[in-house]
Structure 1
Amino acid sequence: MKTLILSLFALLFSYSLQAQTGLKVGDKAPEFIAKNSEGKEINLKELLKTNKSVVLFFYRGQWCPYCNKHIKDLQDSLTSLSAKGAYVLGVTPESDESITKTKDKTKASFSLISDKGYKIMKAYKVDFVMEEGLVSKYKGYGIDVAKNNGALDAVLPVPATYIIGKNGRIKFVQFDKDYKKRASVKELAAIL
């Protein structure tokens, strides 16, 4: 039954994302300044001055088992990624309260940013507004995306991962409208 539900989500989710493109390898990474869930200012330009690269990933929320697995994998490999000079950073539309739940579930020790107003997601071309039918389906399974996000609208990112080089250019992109597919740590380490 769970497999059927997840398959339905995949079908509905991919159908709704036709216009999403994401950024490409070689593109200049949009700069941003935001506060992480601990209130610390995160400035992409400054991160690139002090790190060889930034692993920037977008995730849907604490309710998503695929997101939680990806975050756990990144956390489990954080020492080896950091040893290669990478700063790992997650961006989500979920509220700070929901980020706390994500951190509790995944034990993530790296920065997670609540993208209020979806500015970062829009800049990286990963945002999408859920159609009302999809919102209703998710609610039927106990997932209120707008409430989780602390917002009035239901907006999610296409799960995507970018490696941004010291020069501010994107060196790696994993962008797949199938929310079950994520960049593996092995793929990331090979680029770093």
Structure 2
Amino acid sequence: MNSIKGRLPLYLKKHLTMKRLFTFTAGILCVLGAMAQSGLKSGAPAPMFTAVDNAGKSIDMGKLLQSHKAVILFFYRGQWCPYCNKHIQQLQDSLQMLTGKGAYVIGVTPETGENINKTIEKTHASFSIIQDKDYRIMKAYDVNYVMADTMVAKYKAWNVDLEKMNGNMDHVLPVPATYVIDQSGKISFVQFDKDYRNRASVRSLLNELN
């Protein structure tokens, strides 16, 4: 970490705290780890799936699209990710506006049910969150990637143990991405960015639902 900081311009050295340096370094590592993924494109058929959410509710994408104008499907890394929590909180804060336009919101994550509960405690999320244990949904939307061993070790040094967070040894994370699926079953909106700090704004989602 010190070697990275040593190569930064002087003005960045002065302004980067250890927390900011973690974010800066982790951002570079995650972008590199996710290079192979490209995500599904706008206009493509959305993969349908069935699952059970954190509240034990059966989720059937096909049926949801029969009773809702759209489904907002987003992928997040875990309760340890401040950018994920901020995005989830923004969605929750605007949930009435989103549902008022006929949308059903679903979050998908590799983290364990226990950690999903921690996410809910931090964000007060009241929409469906699905633990994608076998990465079936992440793979269908082409957002899954395996974190390199060197990156796993760095995260552990920063007190982020993916094996504990996800309950396995796979080290799989999603590229944080957001899709809007319309009633025809097609993807009408995509926000896919390998820089995990960038997320779909609520404004952009509301504009899509107009």
> What's the TM-score bracket when you normalise by the shorter of the two chains?
over 0.9
Match of 1:106 in 2: 123
Work out which of the residue numbers 172, 187, 192 in structure 2 matches 1:170. 187
Give 1:95-134 correspondences, 5 Å limit.
95-134=112-151
Alpha-carbon separation, structure 2, partners of 1:112 and 1:123: 17
Alpha-carbon separation, structure 1, partners of 2:34 and 2:79: 21
Work out which of the residue numbers 28, 31, 35 in structure 2 matches 1:18. 35
Alpha-carbon separation, structure 2, partners of 1:61 and 1:5: 16
Give 1:1-192 correspondences, 5 Å limit.
1-192=18-209
- Per-residue CA shift, 1:38-71, capped at 9, x if unaligned? 1111011111011000000000000000000000
Alpha-carbon separation, structure 2, partners of 1:60 and 1:114: 11
Checking the alignment, whether the CA contact within 8 Å between 1:146 and 1:155 is kept in structure 2 is no
TM-score, normalised relative to structure 2: 0.91
1:146 deviates by 2.1
Q: Which is higher, the Rg of structure 1 or of structure 2?
A: 2
- Per-residue CA shift, 1:137-177, capped at 9, x if unaligned? 00000001121111121110000000000000000000000
TM-score, normalised relative to structure 1: 0.99
Alpha-carbon separation, structure 1, partners of 2:167 and 2:32: 25
Checking the alignment, whether the CA contact within 8 Å between 1:96 and 1:114 is kept in structure 2 is yes
Alpha-carbon separation, structure 1, partners of 2:35 and 2:80: 23
Alpha-carbon separation, structure 1, partners of 2:47 and 2:73: 11
4+ residue runs of structure 1 moved beyond 2 angstroms? none
Alpha-carbon separation, structure 1, partners of 2:58 and 2:167: 20
1:16 deviates by 1.2
Alpha-carbon separation, structure 2, partners of 1:157 and 1:5: 19
Specify every segment of 5 or more residues in structure 1 that has no aligned partner in the other structure, as ranges: none
Specify every segment of 5 or more residues in structure 2 that has no aligned partner in the other structure, as ranges: 1-17
User: How large is the RMSD of aligned CA atoms in angstroms?
Assistant: 0.5
